[in-house]
Amino acid sequence: MPRVRFAPSPTGYLHVGGARTALFNWLYARKTGGTMVLRIEDTDRERSTDAHTQVILEGLTWLGITWDEGPLFQGANLEQHQADVRALLNAGKAYHCFCTREELEAQRATAAAQKTGFRYNGRCRSVTPDEAAQRLAAGEEATVRIRMPDEELAWDDAVHGRISFQGHDLDDFVVLRSDGTPIYNLAVVSDDIAMQITHVIRGDDHVSNTPKQIAIYRALGAPEPVFAHVPMILGSDGKKLSKRHGATAVGDYQDQGIFPAAMRNFLALLGWSPGGDREILPEAEMIELFSLEGIQSKPAVFDTAKLEWMNGQYLSATPAAELLPAVTRQLGLLGVDSGSRPLEPLIDGVKARSRTILQLAEQVAVRLAGPRGEPDARGIALRKKLGSAFAEHLRRAVAVLESLPDDQWRAEPILAALTASAESAGAKLGDALQPIRVVLTGSTVSEPVNELLVLVGREAALERLGRGAAEMESVG
């Protein structure tokens, strides 16, 4: 059975790229009946914090990404890391390096001056184990370096296909610092072996680490996992996604009122395609259709408009009763009191045209309390275009609507009355209806006018339309 892991470093918030990596691991585990391990890579002691770990766990939970083992903490595995380094030393696959920091700095400076790129010159390769033991006993400090084999280090990446490096192009890198702590590549491989990870699914910023890690697997005589490097996420301008492009933390989207299911659906399609043009994928289908082969090798573009669209799809599919608490909270923030009016019909009336809870609450607020301030640009353009006819249409609408008895304040009778009145005045129906929309919503885009009038309610609608006509007349 496959065993996968998500291995975030708790040095910052949960980035959308990290969340997407977690999601792909989770989808693969759920698809294959495998196990998902959560491993917190907290070995960078200066930058790792418990608060970051909490934010990462909360973000994953919010997205509905669950794990079967963990959270395990890499820092707890120090002895195992050191044992693996000892095994490398005993097998002659690694050696102690006594070169001092100053010597290495000088070599780095020379390489930089010659623009050749630094590679360790291998001076301590020939230090025998006996000599090393003596020098250590005498109190000399040493790091441990892997003895890089002169062989091809290649793998069949599940996303990119065959990727190949040559051992002689890589240097004998440090696996253990002189203070006895492991460097990243050693700790990761040591943990992945101990946790019997079969598939390493991670960002393709780790491609360049992979040959080094393969060298460690081989030196330890351990089987290599399948590697799947998922493509980078770019902003709309084609540059690597960063804060310049807007929110990059999962928590920000939570705060913006994005549905976790919408966020998850959106993230899943960043670099993975289920085939065909399916976009809205409920959890079960996402799991069913997921495959590593379906991950694209070219970078994915983070399109905020698409996320909002997707959120709108989830919003309209959610029953009003479920949206009620969030909408009520937002109305409170907007300072709108719904009094005793039931909000569900209003929510149902506007949810198909809202992309976020925020937009939805604003639309509900407008229907409850009228638009705040001036109409939008199209509303103003319509007022200009119609001139004095704008108020005339409103006056005629008020007259005919006032004559409708209370029990006729329903969509069909309202439309019939407005249509008849426009016809008898020789006005185009669109011209007659648009001013109503602009006065009641501040915009030329809304639900059908008759439905809008029902949602606003008889008394408020007549009052606002009358006031709208009066305001236009006073402007002239």
Cis peptide before 223 (omega within 30 of 0): no
Q: How far is the CB of 187 from ligand GLU (least distance, A)?
A: 9
Nearer to ligand GLU (CB atom), residue 181 or residue 328 = 181
In the list 2, 3, 4, 7, the residue contacting ligand GLU (rule: CB under 6 A) is 7
Phi and psi (nearest 5°) for 165?
A: -125, 160
Nearer to ligand GLU (CB atom), residue 29 or residue 365 = 29
Interface stretch with ligand GLU, choices 2-10, 47-55, 338-346, 395-403 (CB under 6 A): 2-10
- Residue 106 is which amino acid? A
- In the range 35-64, which residues lie near ligand GLU by CB under 6 A? 41
Q: How far is the CB of 41 from ligand GLU (least distance, A)?
A: 4
Task: Please answer whether residues 139 and 276 qualify as being in contact, where contact means their C-beta atoms are separated by less than 8 angstroms.
Answer: no
Q: How far is the CB of 346 from ligand GLU (least distance, A)?
A: 45
For position 9 contacting ligand GLU by CB under 6 A, the verdict is yes
For position 8 contacting ligand GLU by CB under 6 A, the verdict is yes
Q: How far is the CB of 17 from ligand GLU (least distance, A)?
A: 9
Nearer to ligand GLU (CB atom), residue 5 or residue 437 = 5
Phi and psi (nearest 5°) for 157?
A: -70, 135
Q: In angstroms, how far is CA 396 from the centroid of its own chain?
A: 51
Nearer to ligand GLU (CB atom), residue 69 or residue 103 = 69
Task: Please tell me the count of residues contacting ligand GLU according to CB under 6 A.
Answer: 7
Residue 384 appears among annotated catalytic residues: no
Q: How far is the CB of 339 from ligand GLU (least distance, A)?
A: 51
Residue among 239, 243, 385, 428 flagged as catalytic: 243
> Vertex 417, ends 415 and 418: CA angle to 5°?
65
Q: How far is the CB of 39 from ligand GLU (least distance, A)?
A: 8
In the list 93, 145, 147, 202, the residue contacting ligand GLU (rule: CB under 6 A) is 202
Checking DSSP bridges between strand 152-157 and strand 161-166, what pairing results, if any?
A: antiparallel
For position 182 contacting ligand GLU by CB under 6 A, the verdict is no
For position 14 contacting ligand GLU by CB under 6 A, the verdict is no
Q: How far is the CB of 368 from ligand GLU (least distance, A)?
A: 47
For position 206 contacting ligand GLU by CB under 6 A, the verdict is yes
For position 157 contacting ligand GLU by CB under 6 A, the verdict is no
Nearer to ligand GLU (CB atom), residue 202 or residue 396 = 202
For position 31 contacting ligand GLU by CB under 6 A, the verdict is no
Nearer to ligand GLU (CB atom), residue 206 or residue 341 = 206
CA dihedral 38, 41, 46, 47 (to 10 degrees): -60
Nearer to ligand GLU (CB atom), residue 149 or residue 203 = 203
For position 211 contacting ligand GLU by CB under 6 A, the verdict is no
Q: How far apart are CA 21 and CA 128, in angstroms?
A: 43
For position 188 contacting ligand GLU by CB under 6 A, the verdict is yes
Q: Point out the residues that are catalytic.
A: 243
Binding site for ligand GLU (CB under 6 A): 7-9, 41, 188, 202, 206
